[in-house]
Amino acid sequence: MQIVVINSQKGGSGKTMLAKHLAVEAERAGDGPVFLIDTDPQGSLTAWHTKRQSEIPQRVEIPFEGLQKGLDLLRGHGAAYCIIDTASGRIDIAKNLFKLADFVIFPVQASEDDLTAAPVTVQSLKEIGVPFVFVLTRVKANTLITAQAAAVLSKHGEVAETFVNDRTAYKAPYAQGQTITEAEPKGPAAKEIAALWKNIKSCLHENMQKGSEVVAHG
């Protein structure tokens, strides 16, 4: 089981949006079972999940103190991925989650504020040594600021090739708690999220290979 934590210290960068869309996409792509954990007291992911009729992806409630044990149980139940949504502004808690993670997704908007906030998280990720990828979110197509943000971020780590565009469709509610990617499976949002999930899987596999090479070579 791969434990994927989604974190940025900046609020509103798209953590919860990515948690739900990537979990749904991973199941659609046949990469499940995927389990979601909402560690944000704000509970946005939980609120969305409660509205869903579909049984997948599943969501589990595990108290923070019992997280390690709970993750072991999920592993024992055959989970392929556990995607953990996190709160912004709590680097102390985020650091504990980074220690449990196999991989971290770091959503960043192409904005001065997001870029200024990024180094605190990057430093923690590097200290702990967990692999991560930046995902540019809420992007306005063909803007200079997006290219500049990608260039700045790439000095600190890998940037996912797929950028998530700013789309009203991501904000709207859909019947039975669906995501836009389920409601319009052939639409541009579905294509974008499918491409992003592929990017993330290849980053994960690359890092798994690096990890096994390190073990093999002592």
CA 43 to chain centroid, in Å, comes to: 16
Nearest approach, Cβ of residue 213 and ligand ATP (Å)? 34
Residue closer to ligand ATP (CB basis): 42 or 154 = 42
CA proximity to 23, closest of 80, 62, 103, 67:
80
Cα dihedral sign for 210, 77, 30, 102? negative
CB 181 within 8 A of CB 29: no
Nearest approach, Cβ of residue 109 and ligand ATP (Å)? 9
Nearest approach, Cβ of residue 14 and Mg ion (Å)? 8
Phi, psi angle pair for 26, to nearest 5°:
-60, -40
Nearest approach, Cβ of residue 81 and ligand ATP (Å)? 18
Which residues inside 30-59 make contact with Mg ion, applying CB under 5 A?
A: 44
Does 16 bind Mg ion (CB under 5 A)? Our answer is yes
Q: Which structure tokens are listed for 42?
A: 């704000």
Residue carrying structure tokens 């992911």: 45
The partner in contact with residue 110, picked from ligand ATP, Mg ion, none with C-beta cut-offs of 5 to 8 angstroms by kind, is none
Q: Which stretch binds Mg ion (CB under 5 A): 10-18, 25-33, 69-77, 176-184?
A: 10-18
Residues that bind ligand ATP (CB under 6 A): 11-17, 40, 42, 44, 88, 137-138, 164, 166-167, 170-171
CB 156 within 8 A of CB 147: no
Residue closer to ligand ATP (CB basis): 102 or 166 = 166
Residue carrying structure tokens 């049984």: 55
What are the residues binding Mg ion (CB under 5 A)?
15-16, 44
